[in-house]
Structure 1
Amino acid sequence: MFRTAFLPCFVSLVQLCAQPAPLPRSLRNGGFQEAGPGGVPAGWRVNAPGGVVARREAGAGLDRPSVVIRLGEGADKDARPNLAQALDARPFRGKRVRLTALLQREGGGTGTGHLWLRVDRPGGAKGFFDGMRDRPVTATAWTAAEIVGDVAPDAERIVVGAWLLGGGGSLGLAQVSLETLGDTPVPEAPRPLGPRGLRNLVAFARAYGYVRFFHPADAAEAAPWDEVARAGVRAAEGAADDADLARRLRAILGPYAPMARFLEPGQRPQPLPRPREAAQVVQWRHYGVGLSRKSVYSSTRTYTPLARKGRPGAEPVAAPCFDLGGGVRLQLPLGCYADRHRRTLPRTGPAPAPPGILPEPTWPVPAAGNAEDRATRLGAVVEVWNVIQHFYPNFDWTQVDWPAQLPRVLAQVAESPSPEAYLRSVRTLMASLQDAHGYVSPLWREVEAGPGLSLAWVGSDLAVCGVAEDLKATVHAGDVLVAVDGVPTARAVAELAPTLPASSTQGLRYLEATGLLQGPAGSVELTLRGEDGAMRTVRVQRPFRQTVPREPRPAGACVELRPGVWYVDLARLTRETVESTLQAIGGARALVLDMRGYPSFGAWQKLFAHFTDAPLQTPPFLVPVITRPDRGDLTFQREGWSIQPEAPKLEARRFFLVDARAISQAELLMDFVEHYKLGEILGEATAGVDGNVNPFLAGGLRIAWTGMKVPKHDGTPLAGVGILPTLPVARTLEGLRAGRDEVLDRALDLALGAAGPAGAGR
């Protein structure tokens, strides 16, 4: 999405960099040694209007020249001052390239620095583009920036540059380099795993997780772990026997764990030597686990001085053995000795790059890209399985046999015939976790489209419950879906269900209803049974658009339904509207609060502050603190916050509407309602999950999962249960056909029966 949206920004640069003379076949003057007219380095150009570039001699912490990029006087504040250079792409065709530079934000302001690299193909066809939108440089010190991308076989031009995006200030740029890393890798074709190969990959997967997450050597901390995963599955799969497997594991993982020993059958563990320079012990401490910069979770190495001459301190490093399967064990120190400068021992040089593996592109290409490659897919399974194995906090609630999933999904992915089959296999892996946050999204294509219809289960029927205006002539609320593209609904749902991340039965039914009609943009044929029992077939388009509401809601987010009875849609309440809402409902005798959706953080807390005269404390947010593999010695750090009461307290009776659309933060809101008895709960159970997600990327996929344990206020599990209604209300086909919101109708009946301000209790 980003690369398409930002391409128009560079149309002027394409024209600017087009020259009648032949384009250079390599980057010219990347070190800015050659001056040019007007202060612009030779070989480079500035986009107009508003961009100013000045060349500077060595200094300010650099031993080479640099340039500064800024807006000129009177320039539009939204302009993007740019320094760019175009190259002939022919020498780079079919190659993977890397653009590097040093960037430094200067001169105040809040502008951010970005490198960018674009590959132009004939006729305006899309090539690689990355503008570092996801990782801007904001530091005032010189910072290394990098872009890795593939040059298409038909590429005509490569355009590289740096720009200052928004907020003013200046951008320093130095030491620009474009290098060829090698031929663009040819994807490895799928093929089945033999029994020995499967055992080998299971052993590698376990060893990979132990070394990556629990061995704190400097080399392991800095390793390119996605590349190690791909190289490791290629190296390990072909091991002929246990001894060969141990040798291969040692070759791929040993550079990152020099004290590790891969034990063949019959070999015994050995005591771990203590280097003379040892002054302290370093260990990993995972607060959740740090997988991205934009996360509440983190992973840090902790340093403890060794105990000496009676002084307390760290004990000698232990090196337990782990059974990897495949006849091999791993003796791995879970700590490392370090010298007084915090360098881990034994000191080694930088670990070599995994053999035959190039860095991945820094931004996904339009096609399936790395998801086409068998080793990349298998490496992604290794990464995903290990993250969940060591850090998922809710296994005691779900009782999932996670170890059994590893060989099953490795075998599936090894012979997946397409990226979509690979995606399905990883989705089934995450769905087996029973985590409603466990979504798997492909980076190689757009989000799936919907046809402007909403479905809901009504008993055993999957019925239409919402229709876009342009479809109301052919599809009606209350129609029952009989088939999709000729496939009976029951069979279509059975094929979809194993890929859906759900924590509860009600959550699964909701995902079945919302996901069944999703797919690529185009058309879909629906077989429907109408109110009269007659069957008909309609073809509807699947454009990219928002989901149609599942019931006819009041027109506004805050509406007086009857005198003294007010409706508030908590999914539409915002920080900007909460004050006016409070003023409107101040004299209400009953409130109907709709939580069939997702709330805005900060808005509902402000509202709830007027529902109480005592603080409302969250349930415990339990962040796992992990220092040993396989969740050994697992402890939790308790977090939370409270809502302080505010005057005036609203004494209106309250009726909350819920169903499985209420998930995560919405369920936290409803847990307040349930625990503190803030009102009646009507409708259907919520989805059954809460806690901050901890997303990461692997093998062309974005993986989400719940990184902390959040029980209900009373300590019982929320996962798999949800918040149950005090007054269950279900849809009926009759209600759908009549255009009624039966849950809202029931709440309104109760609200009208509440004579006077009866307080907030049930």
Structure 2
Amino acid sequence: MRHFAFLFVMISTSLCINAQTSQQQKNMIAFAKLYGYVKYFHPSDEAAALDWDRFAIYGAGKVLHAKSDAELSSTLQNLFRPFAPSVQIGKNPVFKKSLIIPADKNYYKPAFWFHTGVGFSDNPIYSSVRLNRPQTAKKGRPSGFAPFTQAIEALALRGKEIKMSGRMKVDVSESGTGHFWLRVDRADNKMGFFYNMDDKPAIKNEWQSYEFTGKVDSDAQQIYFGGFLQGEGTIWADDVKLFERDKEGDAWRPVDIKNGGFETAGQSSHAEGWFTGPVEGYKYAVNPSDNNKILEITNDNSAAQPDPSSVTITTAVDYKASPKPGEVITAALGPNIEAVVPIVLYCTTEHTFPAGNAGNLAMLKKEMDAFFNENRNATSLALRLGDVVIAWNIFKHFFPYWNNASQSSDAILEKAVAKSFTDPTPLAFKETLLQMTEPLNDGHVWVGLNNDASNAYTLPIQFDWVENKVIVDKVFDKNAGDVQPGDIVDKIDGQSAAAVYKDKMSLISGSPQWKSYRAMSNFAAGSQNSPVKLTLLRGDKTIELPLNRDLPVGQYGTAVNNLRKKSGKVTDGIYYLDLNTLSKDTIDSWIHDLAGAKGIICDLRGYPNSNHNLINHLLKTGEDTKWMFVAKTAHPDQQKIEFKDFGWNMQPQQPAIKGKVIFITDGRAISYAESYMGFVKDFKLATIIGQPTAGTNGNVNPFTLPGGYTISWTGMLVKNHDGSAHHIKGIIPDIPLQRTLKGVAEGRDEFYEKAVQLIQAE
């Protein structure tokens, strides 16, 4: 009877956590807000050194259990005290400035965070520094991935089942995971079975055995297998084996591989028969263990040590609104709870004041590591909530286009927290992140999940939205069956094509024109070789067409470009330049012919091939306009923002192009393409025809989230050269055009035809 009672308690607790209560929602909102204020604006040394990703997950797990506002206040105070002892939390917190003012201020300097954008990527445009605190760059930082690999021919194993096994031990107390992996490569660069333990990585510092099975495709060419260290730490591997059998139920038979026990070391003590680097920032070795040898991979701590010459201390910043010593913010975390957070602390060369309790901080870090090791992927509610907290705070404090967002930051947080409670799988949580970022209306937003193959393949067909219908635009493969340009897609897998189009748009961030393009690009995406049925309308005929998704999404863009019109002279005196594929060198070699041409058609329906040197030959005068702006701030909630401005400083170059120039563009033109088109539009360098560009420009500032997620977004504000708004609107054509069903069915490029007509009319 006692066992049943225990089981009931465990099940009830699980259901309670997954059925969100109003108190839990309140707890998470309060934690999320305090997290951002302290991480990005409280300058203590302890906070700056904290693993904030792990703390987000650990803290989310802790605050979930607070059953009242009073208990929440106590939980938050206990969570943040080890690294932010001067932060005060409660219903009406009383803050004493004596907490942050040392007895003798003569030996101290002010420390505060100063953000240019926000600095967590390798992009030098964005940075985050603490005034008067050392910034130490690391050299030889691990690339994040150190594999050991072997390959065998697959011919003798075609059609069979295959099993890989091995033993691994891991020491990743700092960060990282251990993995075995196996991949089947098929004909025509297609990928078959693939598994790398990403859903259940090795994380324990004890020898454990791992195995997994897959199927070898009938057209398999090679089988690759091995393992890797992801991130920082050390892994030890041994007893790698492969087995094969004809069908389920048969006995497994060993497959010959080289040096699966790592008993033989080659040059530099590497494992003979295996590819083992070199990989910058990692060391490989074959070491003795008990009565045999094992492979060891570790990040190179000697290479990752601070380079003394790279230690810098920022003592002054270009920022008029720098906060003063003793400055604090009082932030409402919820209806009955506030926090007072110092954003300036005094510091010496050794430490910020006041120092946290080293023992409590060490205990917190130990608990964080242990909790993280049990909550490493998005099957964990705590990780999902922690990821929402991390991502939301980046947008809350640093996203530059909140004026163009469709929801407030608080509304976005509340919805994302609520949905996180019900996500059953990592893939479902990816959709939550997509829903969370969609209201930002930022076309640079992409949400990725490691090894997510759910939408990795598509059909060899380009679709488009024309006259309020999904249509077949182009067909890449003659073997695609009875499908023709101009066919109207009525249904896909029995669902209304128009409804599927709108559903896809609802998970895409950006302007309407960009969302439409993205929705059409992944309209038929799905898993490899999965079946899909199109219901097509052609005149008075209805065609049911069964197909398989066999085109990797990564090859879709190449397939589109392969059907584009080729650059060159199209008729006497008229040149066509496909700026998506044409190189700078080719433009330079043609420039004298282009300068004397009657007309040039520049096609920028897509992304330029690093060829904006063409602008120099169109400009009549030099320019030094500033149209890109990165926010500078030391205050939360995007207060007291100043800007660092940038431009291209383009200058005229001879020979000048003097003929009629037409630029064709549409919603596919994004970012760099819009910088290009901005010069054409704002300096009146050509006539622009087509449709508005994507309305998203500026350098991205991507970040990763625990659980294997990556999110990109726009980290800077970009305007037109005259200072007017560019975001969402895009570059508006001088002559707007729309495609027609008739034109698509006839295989005509109506925009190109219009360009030729305009030049010939001169």
| 1:660 pairs with 2:667 | yes
Match of 1:102 in 2: none
| 1:357 pairs with 2:368 | yes
Change (3 A) 1:314 1:654: closer
* Residues 178-215 of structure 1: per-residue CA shift (max 9 Å, x gap): xxxxxxxxx99971211101100100000101110000
Please state whether the residue corresponding to 1:642 is helix, strand or coil.
coil
Please state whether the residue corresponding to 2:79 is helix, strand or coil.
helix
Change (3 A) 1:579 1:259: same
Change (3 A) 1:488 1:247: same
Give distance in 1, aligned partners of 2:462 and 2:544.
17
Give distance in 2, aligned partners of 1:252 and 1:682.
58
| 1:746 pairs with 2:757 | no
Match of 2:73 in 1: 246
| 1:370 pairs with 2:377 | yes
Offset, 1:552? 8.8
Match of 2:24 in 1: 197
Is contact 2:490–2:537 with CA below 8 Å preserved after alignment?
no
Is contact 1:220–1:256 with CA below 8 Å preserved after alignment?
yes
The residue type equivalent to 2:97 in the other structure is P
Match of 1:444 in 2: 451
| 1:737 pairs with 2:745 | yes
Match of 2:714 in 1: 706
Match of 1:540 in 2: 547
Please state whether the residue corresponding to 1:219 is helix, strand or coil.
helix
Offset, 1:340? 4.5
2:736 aligned to which of 704, 711, 728: 728
Please state whether the residue corresponding to 1:722 is helix, strand or coil.
coil
Offset, 1:555? 4.5
| 1:521 pairs with 2:528 | yes
Offset, 1:531? 3.0
Aligned-pair RMSD on alpha carbons?
Answer: 2.6
Match of 1:325 in 2: 334
Is contact 1:486–1:525 with CA below 8 Å preserved after alignment?
no
Change (3 A) 1:509 1:554: closer
Match of 1:635 in 2: 642
Give distance in 1, aligned partners of 2:477 and 2:483.
10
Give distance in 1, aligned partners of 2:15 and 2:357.
33
| 1:284 pairs with 2:284 | no
| 1:208 pairs with 2:208 | no
Is contact 2:345–2:352 with CA below 8 Å preserved after alignment?
no
| 1:415 pairs with 2:242 | no
Is contact 2:615–2:679 with CA below 8 Å preserved after alignment?
no
Offset, 1:619? 4.5
Is contact 2:530–2:548 with CA below 8 Å preserved after alignment?
yes
Change (3 A) 1:618 1:487: farther
* Residues 690-732 of structure 1: per-residue CA shift (max 9 Å, x gap): 0111100013210111111001112121111111111112111
2:514 aligned to which of 507, 511, 517: 507
Match of 1:339 in 2: 348
Offset, 1:314? 7.9
Please state whether the residue corresponding to 2:673 is helix, strand or coil.
helix
Offset, 1:581? 3.2
Offset, 1:664? 0.8
2:615 aligned to which of 584, 600, 608: 608
Is contact 2:668–2:693 with CA below 8 Å preserved after alignment?
yes
Please state whether the residue corresponding to 1:625 is helix, strand or coil.
strand
Is contact 2:605–2:664 with CA below 8 Å preserved after alignment?
yes
Is contact 1:427–1:499 with CA below 8 Å preserved after alignment?
yes
Q: How does 1:564-575 map to 2 (within 5 A)?
A: 564-575=573-584
* Residues 29-58 of structure 1: per-residue CA shift (max 9 Å, x gap): xxxxxxxxxxxxxxxxxxxxxxxxxxxxxx
Give distance in 2, aligned partners of 1:581 and 1:381.
51
Q: How does 1:432-471 map to 2 (within 5 A)?
A: 432-446=439-453, 448-471=456-479
Match of 1:497 in 2: 505
Give distance in 1, aligned partners of 2:341 and 2:524.
49
Change (3 A) 1:338 1:472: same
Offset, 1:576? 3.4
Greater RCO (CA < 8 Å, at least 6 residues apart) = 2
Q: Which runs of 5+ in 1 are unaligned?
A: 1-186, 308-312, 363-367, 755-762
Q: How does 1:261-300 map to 2 (within 5 A)?
A: 261-263=88-90, 265-273=91-99, 274-278=101-105, 279-300=108-129
Q: Which runs of 5+ in 2 are unaligned?
A: 1-13, 134-313, 317-321
| 1:227 pairs with 2:50 | no
Match of 1:57 in 2: none
* Residues 450-509 of structure 1: per-residue CA shift (max 9 Å, x gap): 21111111111111111112345421100111111111113222322221112x222222
Is contact 1:570–1:593 with CA below 8 Å preserved after alignment?
yes
Match of 1:718 in 2: 726
The residue type equivalent to 1:749 in the other structure is Q
Give distance in 2, aligned partners of 1:217 and 1:659.
49
Change (3 A) 1:481 1:286: same
Match of 2:166 in 1: none
Please state whether the residue corresponding to 1:540 is helix, strand or coil.
strand
Change (3 A) 1:636 1:360: farther
| 1:682 pairs with 2:682 | no
Change (3 A) 1:555 1:620: closer
The residue type equivalent to 1:331 in the other structure is V
1:563 aligned to which of 569, 572, 578: 572
The residue type equivalent to 1:455 in the other structure is F
Change (3 A) 1:314 1:325: closer
Please state whether the residue corresponding to 2:19 is helix, strand or coil.
coil
Offset, 1:266? 4.4
Task: Give the number of equivalent residue pairs.
Answer: 553
Is contact 1:286–1:300 with CA below 8 Å preserved after alignment?
yes
Give distance in 2, aligned partners of 1:361 and 1:533.
60
Offset, 1:267? 4.1
Give distance in 1, aligned partners of 2:739 and 2:370.
53
The residue type equivalent to 2:439 in the other structure is S
Q: How does 1:49-128 map to 2 (within 5 A)?
A: none
Give distance in 2, aligned partners of 1:357 and 1:349.
15
Deviates more, 1:320-329 or 1:644-653: 320-329
Give distance in 2, aligned partners of 1:295 and 1:237.
38
The residue type equivalent to 1:745 in the other structure is E
Change (3 A) 1:397 1:715: farther
Is contact 1:260–1:333 with CA below 8 Å preserved after alignment?
yes
Give distance in 1, aligned partners of 2:683 and 2:323.
46
The residue type equivalent to 1:216 in the other structure is P
Offset, 1:431? 0.5
Is contact 1:663–1:687 with CA below 8 Å preserved after alignment?
yes
Match of 2:130 in 1: 301
Give distance in 2, aligned partners of 1:314 and 1:722.
37
Give distance in 1, aligned partners of 2:370 and 2:599.
61
Offset, 1:254? 1.7
State the identity as a percent: 28
Give distance in 1, aligned partners of 2:483 and 2:324.
72
Change (3 A) 1:744 1:314: closer
Match of 1:108 in 2: none
The residue type equivalent to 1:668 in the other structure is S
